[in-house]
Amino acid sequence: MSPRVKRELRDRWLALRLSLRGRVHEYPEVLQLRRLVAAFDIDCIIDVGANAGQHATMLRRDVGFKGTILSFEPNPQVFAALERNAARDPYWHAFNVALSNTDGTAQFNVMAANQFSSLEVPAERMDPIFVERNKVAQTVDVQCQRLDGLYPQLQAKHGFSRTLLKMDTQGHDSIVCEGAGNLLSDMIAIQTELAIQPLYRGGKGYRDMIDLMDAQGFAPSAFFANNKGHFPCLIEMDGLFVNREALKG
């Protein structure tokens, strides 16, 4: 059996497995990440806005990623679950920290549905499906740190060199990029939210985020709708971008 046929059979089995779990909408993302981490020898994924570790679990179980995962989640209500999940994996490390553009403390908005929790404030107008879920239930103080301050010590401790930065921070991704400073250009790839209809005040729209990635030297690799069941309007996408310098090598 040729390598091409083997790959096609693996891809079909992946699609079937995801479909049986009600996750067939994730197939394009999983498939693209499988190819990207292999093609660019990614050995670390920084998982910003990790919630309870759903994305990291997908990376292990579906993408087959075996390198270091560094998960950052400021929400104390879900961090305990993230920490428990990460504790079962020696190459998965969890941090109760919000990555931002400053070091210190900040007020964090815990929403009615915790996956929408954010350092940002909900938009005044949004699709009705989000109104009750993306409502501030309480605010808590959280620790904030810049990525460019953390990264060197994390790299020295864990020994990685080729990093994918994944952000799911509910309207705060561009601020995380600010906090990465010049370090951003060292990333091999970046995965970020692209808001078609911003859910947070002052949040960058998808055009602005694409322009930001372009200005930082990253070329689009793929786009995925990340809102299941919001037909017919697209609310958000995830964008996967590759460092143009990595494309040369």
Q: In the prediction, which pLDDT does 225 show?
A: 87
pLDDT digits 0-9 by tens, 20-30: 777 788 888 99
Token couple for 21: 């779990």
Q: Name which of 165, 51, 48 is nearest 110 in CA terms.
A: 51
Which residue range is the domain that position 183 belongs to?
Answer: 3-248
Instruction: Calculate what percentage of the chain has a pLDDT beyond 90.
Output: 66
Task: Please state the domain count of the chain.
Answer: 1
Q: In the prediction, which pLDDT does 226 show?
A: 78
pLDDT digits 0-9 by tens, 67-80: 999 999 999 989 99
Question: Is the model more confident about 103 or about 234?
Answer: 103
Average of pLDDT values for 77-91?
A: 96
pLDDT digits 0-9 by tens, 135-180: 888 999 999 999 999 999 999 999 999 999 999 999 999 999 999 9
For residue 106, the domain's CATH number is 3.40.50.150
Token couple for 82: 């993230």
d(CA 241, CA 220): 4
Work out whether strand 98-100 and strand 104-111 pair parallel, antiparallel, or are unpaired.
unpaired
Q: In the prediction, which pLDDT does 51 show?
A: 96
pLDDT digits 0-9 by tens, 16-59: 787 777 778 888 899 999 999 999 999 999 999 999 999 999 99
Question: Is the model more confident about 199 or about 144?
Answer: 144
Q: In the prediction, which pLDDT does 128 show?
A: 75
Work out whether strand 104-111 and strand 136-146 pair parallel, antiparallel, or are unpaired.
antiparallel
Q: In the prediction, which pLDDT does 210 show?
A: 97
d(CA 43, CA 201): 35
Q: In the prediction, which pLDDT does 113 show?
A: 86
Q: Are 213 and 190 in contact (CB under 8 A)?
A: yes
Question: Is the model more confident about 146 or about 120?
Answer: 146
pTM: 0.93
